[in-house]
Structure 1
Amino acid sequence: MKRFSRLAALVVVIAATALGCSAKADQTTDKLKATLQSRIGDDATIKSISKSPIPGLYEVNLGTEIVYSDANGDYLFIGDIVDAKSRKNLTQARMTEINRIDFASLPFANAVKVVKGDGSRKIAVFSDPNCPYCHQLENTLKTMDNVTVYTFLYPVLSPDSTVKSKAIWCSPDRAKAWESWMLDRHAPTAAGTCNTAAIDSNLALGQAMKVDGTPTVFLADGRRLPGAVSGDQLNKAMNEATH
């Protein structure tokens, strides 16, 4: 995950004094946000600031990354917080929550829909037709049953990705055209021109949701799984999201 340049140059200091905050500190997040934003400038946009599990240390949400700050914004702490007893990565857990979406609000009319079995488990996938890991994920999905897959065509790799996405979208049977290309490498051929505004909408949506790689899977409970996850991992996650 990218780290902004200037922050990487800051000295990371873990000071004992930063861990003992006053009761007032948790009422100063707006001030802290303004202070930190002015100090880091355009290198990152602070989405929110909240208290961390450690007294006196504040969680700074940068959208794609979490860092930590003392109450005054004098020091930044870059790294993960791990619960020593449970060994749970608390930073990673928070990122999962921060990036959780409202699955039901996705514009499914803009997706290629494939139903396997009873379709009871649902996922949404942002996928580029020229992405090798997307092909890998499709081969994994081929082995699964009882799942509805909404594929949002997300051509970000090359101009040819856009050409293929439009051809798939304009095909008489989008699902068949998508699977034929992704599984068997049969190039899509559109029956004619059609309205491809859905693809532009998908690009805007993905950018707004910080989808910075393909494939990105969203589960029915709003969690995201980046990359071509394994079949076991995906099955487990889908089952968890359904119950």
Structure 2
Amino acid sequence: MNLSCKFSTLLLGTALLSAPPLAAQSQSPVSAASVTQMEKAKNKLRALTGADIDFKLHPYSDDFYRLTLGNEHLLLSKDGNYLFSGRVIDVRNRVDHIAKIQQIANQQNMANIPYEQLLTYPANNEQYSITVFTDIDCPYCRKFHKELPALNQLGVTVHYVMIPRGRAGSPAYEKTAATLCAKRPNEAMDAAMRSTPTPTQNAACKHSLDTQVALARQFGFQSTPTILLPNGEALPGYVPAKELVARLEKL
């Protein structure tokens, strides 16, 4: 459920906060007192959302809980009085906490990625592995696809999660399904990224496109390309091969 529909009376924007860095946040044990405090915060939030909204609170820092609502991730103050979305900046440590809790959620969701069902472009000598949420009809996805030979040569294996622009039965969906159903899917993908027509008569095989679309929804990714790094960080948009490898080397 979209958060804005339920919390339309709240101002969920950028907040400037100072909080301990993430490295210190995830180490503190959950005490009985903190569980009681969490229940009090839950009750305050429940009074706002109503009983029909499913959310989860997780320990995060001395000042905040990490709130999960569907595929949205927010911060809730420990007293349950303040809810934060958008960009929440720790000025002292230069950390965007909303981006950080999204990264935590991505790390957890990465365990559910069925890599064996994805189109994979393996590196000759793998040093890194990334997952790219892509769309055959996306111009910047096609631009990124041209970087795959360079990425593979630089030791980066690329796994593709397909997000067609249309639902099942649409031309975009059927074209993507036909690509996955081809005898040589990687070659079909290369052709599709060059705008070469894909034979739609091969779109009726047993493919994993619905699983991939559901996976993108689980992560909350809609824009393409979105590059998911091994540490759970998500990079929206096209990134050149050399720049991407330089980013990976810093992880």
Give me the TM-score of the superposition, normalised by structure 2. 0.72
**1:1-243 mapped onto 2 (5 Å cutoff):** 4-10=4-10, 24=33, 27-41=36-50, 45-54=54-63, 57-62=64-69, 63-69=71-77, 71=79, 73-78=80-85, 80-101=87-108, 103=110, 106-144=113-151, 145=153, 146-157=155-166, 159-182=170-193, 184-189=194-199, 192=202, 194-240=204-250
1:222 CA displacement: 3.9
Runs of at least 5 residues in structure 1 that lack an aligned partner in the other structure: 15-22
* Distance of aligned partners of 1:104 and 1:85 in 2 relative to their CA distance in 1, 3 Å threshold: closer
For the residues of structure 2 that align with 1:229 and 1:58, how far apart are their CA atoms?
33
Structure 1 residues 234 and 42 mapped into 2: Cα distance closer, same or farther (>3 Å)? farther
> Structure 2 regions of 5+ residues with no counterpart?
16-31
CA contact (8 A) 1:59 1:69 kept: no
How far is 1:69 from its partner? 3.1
Aligned equivalents of 1:51, 1:28: Cα separation in 2:
13
Matching residue of 1:18 = none
Larger CA deviation: 168-177 vs 153-162:
153-162
Whole-angstrom distance in 2 between the partners of 1:64 and 1:156:
22
With structure 1 as the length reference, what TM-score do the two structures score?
0.74
Describe the SS at the equivalent of 1:9.
Answer: coil
Residue 200 of structure 1 and its aligned partner are, at CA, apart by: 1.7
Q: CA 1:82–1:134 in structure 2 vs 1: closer, same or farther (change >3 Å)? A: same
Distance (Å, rounded) in 2 between the aligned partners of 1:129 and 1:150: 14
Contact in 1 for aligned 2:74/2:83 (Cα 8 Å): no
Aligned equivalents of 2:41 and 2:150: distance in 1? 50
- Residues 208, 91 of structure 1: alpha-carbon distance in 2 compared, 3 angstrom cutoff: closer
User: SS at the partner of 1:235?
Assistant: helix
Aligned residues of 2:44 and 2:81 also touching (Cα < 8 A): no
Matched residue pairs, number?
227
CA RMSD of aligned residues (A): 3.3
- The answer as to whether partners of 1:59 and 1:66 remain within 8 angstroms in 2 is yes
Partner of 1:37, secondary structure, is helix
